[in-house]
Amino acid sequence: MIVIKVGTNVLSDDHGSIDMGTLTTLVEQIATLKSSGEKIILVSSGAVGAGRKELTLTKTLNRVEKRQLWAAIGQPKLLQKYMHLFEQHDIHVAQILATKEDFRDRKHYLHMRNCFKALLSENVIPIVNENDAIAVDELMFTDNDELAGLVAGMMGANALYILTNVDGVYDTNPTDPEAKVIAEILPDATPSLNFASSPRSSFGRGGMATKFRMSKRLASLGIEVLIANGKKPDIINRVYRGEAVGTRFRKQANSSSVKKWLAYQDRSAQGTVIVNEGAKQALLQPKKAASLLPVGVVDILSVFKKGDLINVIDHEGHIIALGKAQYGSDTLEKYLGKNGQKALIHYDYLVITHERN
């Protein structure tokens, strides 16, 4: 299964209208890929841009209201275009609009996953976007790259292709004539900040720095990520064939679906504990799976109940891990610093978030 994310900047022409030429060729490529037996989920931006082109406002609206209104008008326009183009290849499409909230609760998350599974098993291509009409502030994804990462993680996709309007991640500032696209990024690579200045569209929110962070995180969970230029001819098929186009984030060993879900829950932790240096080192050891034992916990910063998600921080306040507590903070208080007690967070329910800071 492959998740393909198409950015606003790929879908729009120089005047901000939907670029039908590009959209047509992307749909053709997706149809070809699908006919080879691959399951595909499309994450498409472009609603806000499409709505903005459609309607000249008569009243003064604030930034949020404008975005809501344009998205509400633009999303069906965008879907209509996709539907029309995919119909020519006898492919059914479905619309799924999500907010960040939909990924937070595990039960809800599993319901959403079931919906995707059912659509895929019926050979339908789900077309996903943020529910921009109702997603305001804390309900919002950082950008659609984050949404695409969440969908790829949720579905355990083999790969995520991020199609944007630049050729990939550059080794230096892309405006520098010497700048070259990095063909492959290994799991332990650290970002250089130069590529962050890559151009972004006026309607989309994503930038290369967030793409880089999200891609590395996904690759560390076992999903390969490719960033490539969606305006280039035959780009999806070329990436699929493994040609040297764009930037490929090499994946690490696959991790469980629980861990993939956990990896994106950092803002929903209810409690926080501080661990000593020994516990920190044990958790961060790359090759050994470690649970968090109460002997390594030195303090409880905010209380929590059994089953809550909790942040694990070091003495300097850096978040190093996140996991599900096997008991509440009242029980932990009795075990603090003691040997031979049940793990506070079992390894299967723990993810290291250290590299994200």
Contacts to ligand GLU by CB under 6 A: 8, 45-49, 129-130, 132, 143-144, 203-206
| Min CB(94)–ligand GLU separation in Å | 17
DSSP 36-61: TT--EEEEE--HHHHHHHH---SS--
**CB closest to ligand GLU, residue no:** 204
Nearer to ligand GLU, 29 or 144 (CB): 144
Nearer to ligand GLU, 211 or 260 (CB): 211
Provide the strand spans (E) within 149-268.
159-164, 184-185, 224-229, 247-249
Nearer to ligand GLU, 129 or 329 (CB): 129
Side chain identity at residue 195, one-letter code: F
Nearer to ligand GLU, 229 or 252 (CB): 229
CA–CA distance, 213 with 215 (Å, rounded to integer) = 5
| Min CB(43)–ligand GLU separation in Å | 9
| Min CB(208)–ligand GLU separation in Å | 13
Nearer to ligand GLU, 13 or 243 (CB): 13
| Min CB(163)–ligand GLU separation in Å | 12
| Min CB(151)–ligand GLU separation in Å | 13
Q: Give the angle subtended at the CA of 58 by the CAs of 53 and 61, to the nearest 5°.
A: 85
Strands across the sheet containing 319-324: 297-302, 271-275, 309-313, 319-324, 350-352
Provide the strand spans (E) within the chain.
2-6, 40-44, 93-98, 125-130, 159-164, 184-185, 224-229, 247-249, 271-275, 297-302, 309-313, 319-324, 350-352
What are 151's two structure tokens?
């969908």
| Min CB(273)–ligand GLU separation in Å | 34
Nearer to ligand GLU, 149 or 296 (CB): 149
CA–CA distance, 238 with 200 (Å, rounded to integer) = 24
| Min CB(246)–ligand GLU separation in Å | 18
Output phi, psi for 13, to 5 deg: -90, -175
Nearer to ligand GLU, 15 or 287 (CB): 15
